Structure 1
């Protein structure tokens, strides 16, 4: 018997995905309020790196769960 209402187990990749997305949003906020252009560029580069790390975790999660690959399925 399977539990239909049972929540999905949160994996480390799922936790990392959320973390890197929040970190990218935080860095975007810092970039928008940066005083100097060099600060803004650095924050934006760090935010882009965080998004790339989130994409790696997203791909691992999609490989783990076929339902995540096609949301309409």
Structure 2
């Protein structure tokens, strides 16, 4: 039996990144299927907020990758 290698430790920012990307995609789908323009605009605004949060987590992950020698608490 072959054991697959793990990609490394999954951090909270890594989990949040995936969550916010999925949430943005879900909100985009809701916006596409919305009946009224005001609903569509609201879903699109929420999707933008979710993408901004995902970008923040992405930047934190990138910073963590550069500081490979830093201790994690």
The two structures share one fold, judged by TM-score above 0.5: yes
> Which bracket does the TM-score occupy, shorter chain normalised?
0.7 to 0.9
Aligned length, in residue pairs = 62
For 2:16, the equivalent position in structure 1 comes to 16
- Cα distance, 1:7 vs. partner? 2.7
For 2:31, the equivalent position in structure 1 comes to 31
C-alpha separation between the residues in 1 aligned to 2:30 and 2:6? 38
Structure 1: any 5+ residue segments left out of the alignment?
Answer: 67-73
Matched, 1:40 2:40: yes
Structure 2: any 5+ residue segments left out of the alignment?
Answer: 67-73
For 1:64, the equivalent position in structure 2 comes to 64
- Cα distance, 1:47 vs. partner? 0.1
